[in-house]
Structure 1
């Protein structure tokens, strides 16, 4: 029982960490320090909304439609910028891209806000529906854009427009060790399509080597990606 409680705590902390974009080093603290999960809860969860916050997030994780309904009620009660963005984020989480885009666009009409985060989410939603790079052009000058998933999606959109050199420049920024495994695999496949076999093999070998040192949880999370990497490596 003690073992399962520890695993449950680690899973929740990783979910919370990923959702709220906390520094990556917390992954290592949570998994390799016995009290890492407890420290994370105290510093990043309990000091915000205490145990009620944990219960709410676990419920929403299990039943995402309840989260949508709760956020819709909040928006009906108060049509604030943040309530609308929160609802759009929830739609994006469940891959309801049309509703997510609708709310993001409405929130974007509020010219008093710093819309960098909003535009990154809008780009993410648009990517799965159409080749839209309009909004990326608005924020690519921001330092937060560099080496982000948003820049990666921008690179893929550029490839679809056959702007291959520009696409490669933007996709290359995501090639950061011990992170972005799925994105780096896609970048490697892009290089292979451009007949850059040496660069492709180098990235695949790096991902494979890193996979040998992953935690058990990460191995489960990225199992399909690792299998694809191994399959591609066998073709060289």
Structure 2
């Protein structure tokens, strides 16, 4: 049990380093001196009394992800509010229970007359994982004019759904918006493969070469995070 607690502490601390752009030397301390490094990081970089409960909860959720769901289910049963239902849906989405996430998001929207961009974008993510492309198109229409829609992952998923429905020109129009340097590496790889499927080899090659070049300037944590994507990029480049 102690081993899993230390692993959870490491995971949380590394996540906190990346999320908050803390100096990356902390990652080496956390990895190579696991228990002591994690504790020192928590005390010096994270911990204060106000955050204590939040940290405890996040570590608990890493060890036992279903606990968060059960707690939120109880909270919703006690108070059936819009926010409680959305929180439960988010928790389902986090653990990959996409059908339950979709159900809760839909019920939340039914009780809310306004289109909630946050809720719909998360529901679109869940629809993507269950390959319900028609629902993606249906719900995305209501948020396509939102200021946060352009160049978002939601627009990218919308493009993929258009491709599945045979609307290739519209799909390309939306997918290309994700081609932003030093970001969206996985999505840009998928977009490049889409272009290859349409015999647009030069455009695809340009994207892949850009990702390959950007990979040379990645931080070590990002190189580990996108290792399989970079490897796939190099593999596809060799076939062009």
TM-score (norm 1): 0.83
The one of 149, 152, 166 aligned to 1:162: 166
Q: Could you tell me how far apart the structure 2 residues matched to 1:186 and 1:172 are? A: 11
Q: Which residue does the alignment assign to 1:52?
A: 53
Q: Which residue does the alignment assign to 1:123?
A: 124
Q: Could you tell me how far apart the structure 2 residues matched to 1:54 and 1:104 are? A: 27
The answer to whether the aligner puts 1:138 opposite 2:142 as a matched pair is yes
The answer to whether the aligner puts 1:12 opposite 2:15 as a matched pair is yes
- Residues 144-178 of structure 1: CA distance to partner in whole angstroms, max 9, x if unpaired? 00000000000000001111111011001111111
Q: CA deviation at 1:33?
A: 8.2
Q: Could you tell me how far apart the structure 1 residues matched to 2:139 and 2:63 are? A: 32
Q: CA deviation at 1:111?
A: 2.3
Q: CA deviation at 1:30?
A: 2.2
Q: CA deviation at 1:32?
A: 5.1
Distance 1:72 1:114, change over 3 A: same
- Residues 2-22 of structure 1: CA distance to partner in whole angstroms, max 9, x if unpaired? xx9x9766513157x4xxxxx
Q: Could you tell me how far apart the structure 1 residues matched to 2:89 and 2:17 are? A: 22
- Listed as ranges, the matches of 1:199-218 within 5 Å are 199-218=203-222
Structure 2 segments unaligned to the other structure (5+ residues): 1-6, 27-40
- Residues 20-52 of structure 1: CA distance to partner in whole angstroms, max 9, x if unpaired? xxxxxx5xx324587xx88xx66xx869x5121
8 Å contact from structure 1 (residues 192, 200) kept in 2: yes
- Counterpart secondary structure, 2:148: helix
Q: Which residue does the alignment assign to 1:88?
A: 89
Q: Could you tell me how far apart the structure 1 residues matched to 2:81 and 2:98 are? A: 21
Q: Which residue does the alignment assign to 1:23?
A: none
Structure 1 segments unaligned to the other structure (5+ residues): 18-25
Q: Could you tell me how far apart the structure 2 residues matched to 1:158 and 1:222 are? A: 26
Q: How many residues are matched? A: 218
TM-score (norm 2): 0.82
Larger radius of gyration: 2
Q: Could you tell me how far apart the structure 1 residues matched to 2:215 and 2:68 are? A: 34
Q: Could you tell me how far apart the structure 2 residues matched to 1:117 and 1:88 are? A: 12
Q: Could you tell me how far apart the structure 1 residues matched to 2:109 and 2:48 are? A: 32
- Counterpart secondary structure, 1:167: helix
Q: Which residue does the alignment assign to 1:64?
A: 65
